[in-house]
Each structure stands twice: as structure tokens, then as C-alpha cells.
Amino acid sequence: MPKNIFPLDSAKSFTEQEKLGHNRWHPEIPPVATVKPGDTFRVDCREWFDGFMKNDDSAEDIRDAPLDKVHTLSGPFRVEGAKPGDLLVVDILDVGPIPQEEGPLAGQGWGYTGIFAKKNGGSFLTDEFPDAYKAVWDFTGQTATSRHVPGVSFTGIIHPGLMGTAPSAELLGKWNTREAALIATDPERVPPLALPPQPKDAILGGVPQGDYDRVAGEAARTAPPRENGGNQDIKNLSKGTRVFYPVFVDGANFSVGDLHFSQGDGEITFCGGIEMGGFIDFHVDVIPGGMEKYGVTENAIFMPGNVEPRYSQWLSFSGTSVTLDGEQRYLDSHLAYQRACLHAIDYLSTFGWSKEQAYLLLGAAPIEGRFSGVVDIPNACATVYLPTEIFDIDIRPGAGDVPKIDPGIGAPRASLA
């Protein structure tokens, strides 16, 4: 059974642990441990904000989220013999919340979903939901329920939001260049277009003191997914999944974090999914020369596991690339998915949930978001699928009265001045 090579003590902060992780990408962050191809091992993960978020009925923590501090990553783990050009094979043997603990740290029997405020990160529907909101979810086995979103319960599709290999210096340079160019097109935008390197709050593992400032000034933020995998937030990377990552540095230097108890496609509330700390068990292997062999050079590929929660009945909503103001955009699938999600939110609100509750639900529950049509000029067509089994009431349209739920205390809200 897997040995824990990166244990975390729930009573201590991320930087006070036996082994120090990181919250930036940089090739010079040294490995915290070395494993061999064929090894299995366990890694603990801290929730991405290192315990800043509380199990309470206020959204002030979400409003004030310290974005410079994320993501608290476990690693890097060096895989003996892995070389640039190889593919790193990562099997997720198991993943779950912090075992057998109750407490104030997300992952100790509970997790949270937040809608980030427009002035502090924003979200997929930030123009419609500019304030901060929070939902706390309780875990009973693999089932999630929330006092902030009553009337639903679902089986979590537990997964890591973020896994990846270390970039080479060259690749890191490419990231910084292209992202800086984007930021430069509108540097004052709120929310920002991208996040440049930020030395403040950087955690860089075992980078020597003398190199710290330089590395902190170069190291890439962990928010976006990139060629190394990274913060892909693919809900289907759950138990049983095999992922193949390009290797850019000797030893691959693999890291992991941002565990989610569940998530809908898109993680649309940004502070989305159901955030938690926990553990993850890996088996790793290497395909020598795999990048060229399979033409996989700038992206992860993967095979989802076969124990994903199984639902069979879905209610689906479509959207097209016309803005809420009625402006026609050209084949914009991103906009189309926003509109599909808004349609779902409007629909759910007819049953008594507030729109914020519905939005939080779509961020957290195992909804499916699909590119249905991407060529029918000028409208992309996106669709979002809600499993009907997760609702306590029958949400299917019909001839009778619309059943109503009691929205309870609602989703806590906090606005920025």
C-alpha cells in the first residue's frame, strides 16, 4: 500500500510542514522526494488557500481571498530516469479528503465553493454576479450536501484540479513572454487578463536563499493550465485515471494540488468545484521518447477512470454566442457556454433556489458542459447537462405545478466597497 512521501499535519500551516511545497512553477525548485518508475506512493495536499476559508455562514473570506498565495502544491517529485522528451505516466490510484479527521481545515469533513468577486478574481459570470458568495458542503462518504444550497445531494467526482510537470527554463520564458504580451493589451483590467510573476507570497520549496528573489521574480503563477498540464481543472481526472505528461526537465519534477471533492465542467465560479485538502495515491511510469513517439509535445493526454459517478437522466440547456445585450458574436463557444449556464440558472430559480445558489450548484455538482456546435456561423452552440437524480424534487418540465424548494438561509454574500 502506498507510503506517504509528502505528509501534511492539519494543525500546521503549509510553510511549517516537514517538507515544503511550492506555489509557483519554476525549473529550479528542487524535488522534495524521488520515486522510481513503477512506484506507488501517497501525497497529502493542502486546500489551495492553506486554510484561509472557513466553515461558517459568511462570504467575507471569499471576498478577501489572498490570490497571490495560491496554489499550495505538493512536490515536486522527481521520477528517476525521466528525461526531457519522455512521457510521464501518472495513475491516480485513489484520491479523497483528509482521512478520519474533523476540523476547521477544508477537507476535514467539509469543503467550499466560492464565487469570486469581480474586484478580486472574478468568475465565469462575473458581470451577472459581481459580489462574493460561498457555499459550504458537508461530506458523507462520497456524497455532498450543503446548508447553503438545500434540496440537492450528489456523488462527488473527486479529483485533483492541478497536476503537472516542471517547465524547462525555455518553456517558462515562453509563458512569461506570451502572458505579459496579453496583459499589456489592457493592464488595468478588472479582473485582470492574466497574472504575471508575483514575488509576494511566493513559496518556492527548497530554492536556496541566494536564488530566491530571482526565482520568485521569474516563476510562473499556477492559475492557468499550460503545456505541462497544470491547473486544468478537468473533473474527469478522478480515481482510476491515467494521465500522460510531457517531460521538460530531468526527473520530470511532478507536482499536485487543488483537490476537489466535486466540480462541474468549467469550474465556473472560479473558486469552484468543492475545494478541499486531502490525499492522493499515485503510480508512476515513464515512456522513453514518448513525446515524439506519440506527437504529444505541449499538452497532457489522459484516460479517465471507470468508477466515475454514474447518472443516466439529464436535463440540458443550450446557449449561443449572442450576448445578454443581444449582440451577435462570431463563433464564440466561451460565450455560448456562459449563456447555457445562465439559462440553467434561470430555470432552476423557478423552483425557489436563488440564482446564486443555482450558480454555486453548477460550479460544484458533476454537470457536463459540451461543445455541441462550433461551425454554424455565426453561432456556436454550447450545452450544459444537469443530472436530474441529484435534486430532491422532480425538476423536469411538465404539465403540473412547479414544485418549490425551501432555499433555507441562502448562500452567504459579501460585497467589495
Nearest-approach distance from CB 220 to a second copy, in angstroms: 12
Query: Applying CB under 8 A, does 7 fall inside the site for a second copy?
Result: no
Query: Applying CB under 8 A, does 379 fall inside the site for a second copy?
Result: yes
| x/- letters, 43..82, toward a second copy (CB under 8 A) | ----------------------------------------
> What angle do the packed helices 355-364 and 333-349 form, to 10 degrees?
120
Among 12, 36, 214, 293, binds a second copy (CB under 8 A): 293
Query: Applying CB under 8 A, does 262 fall inside the site for a second copy?
Result: no
Strand, coil or helix: what is 222?
Answer: coil
Query: Applying CB under 8 A, does 414 fall inside the site for a second copy?
Result: no
User: How many C-alpha atoms does 376 have within 13 Å on its Cβ side?
Assistant: 10
Q: How many residues bind a second copy (CB under 8 A)?
A: 132
Where residue 113 falls (left for φ over 0; alpha for ψ -120 to 50; beta otherwise) is beta
Of 58-66, 134-142, 165-173, 409-417, the segment contacting a second copy by CB under 8 A is 134-142
Strand, coil or helix: what is 71?
Answer: coil
| Cβ distance to a second copy smaller for residue 211 or 299 | 299
Burial class from Cβ neighbours inside 10 Å (0-12, 13-18, 19+) for residue 15 reads: exposed
Closest CA to 289 of 45, 34, 10, 82: 82
Among 244, 248, 359, 391, binds a second copy (CB under 8 A): 244
Query: Applying CB under 8 A, does 20 fall inside the site for a second copy?
Result: no
Among 200, 209, 398, 417, binds a second copy (CB under 8 A): 398
What are residue 81's phi and psi, to 5 degrees? Answer: 90, -15
Site for a second copy in 307-336 (CB under 8 A): 307-320, 322, 326-334
**What is the distance between the alpha carbons of residues 365 and 185, in angstroms, rounded to a whole number?**
35
Nearest-approach distance from CB 83 to a second copy, in angstroms: 15
| Cβ distance to a second copy smaller for residue 64 or 91 | 91
**What is the distance between the alpha carbons of residues 355 and 131, in angstroms, rounded to a whole number?**
13
Of 24-32, 86-94, 127-135, 248-256, the segment contacting a second copy by CB under 8 A is 86-94
| Cβ distance to a second copy smaller for residue 15 or 350 | 350
Q: Are 45 and 290 in contact (CB under 8 A)?
A: no
User: Which strand (E) or helix (H) includes residue 356?
Assistant: helix 355-364
Query: Applying CB under 8 A, does 254 fall inside the site for a second copy?
Result: no
Among 141, 170, 409, 417, binds a second copy (CB under 8 A): 141
**What is the distance between the alpha carbons of residues 103 and 109, in angstroms, rounded to a whole number?**
7
| x/- letters, 338..377, toward a second copy (CB under 8 A) | -xx--x--xx-xx-----------------xxxxxxxxxx
| x/- letters, 199..238, toward a second copy (CB under 8 A) | ------------------------xxxx----xxxxxx--
Nearest-approach distance from CB 10 to a second copy, in angstroms: 11
| x/- letters, 146..165, toward a second copy (CB under 8 A) | ---------x----------
Among 252, 380, 405, 411, binds a second copy (CB under 8 A): 380
* Identity of the residue numbered 328: Q
Of 21-29, 48-56, 395-403, 404-412, the segment contacting a second copy by CB under 8 A is 395-403
The secondary structure of 121-163 as a DSSP string is: T--TTTTT--SEEEEEEEEETTEEEETTSTTB-EE---EEEEE
Q: Which residues pair with 111 in a beta bridge?
A: 137
Query: Applying CB under 8 A, does 102 fall inside the site for a second copy?
Result: yes
Closest CA to 122 of 219, 189, 53: 189
**Grid cell at residue 226:** 499550460
Query: Applying CB under 8 A, does 399 fall inside the site for a second copy?
Result: yes
User: Which strand (E) or helix (H) includes residue 357?
Assistant: helix 355-364
User: Which strand (E) or helix (H) includes residue 316?
Assistant: strand 314-320
Where residue 180 falls (left for φ over 0; alpha for ψ -120 to 50; beta otherwise) is alpha
Query: Applying CB under 8 A, does 393 fall inside the site for a second copy?
Result: no
| x/- letters, 160..189, toward a second copy (CB under 8 A) | --------------x---xx-xx-------
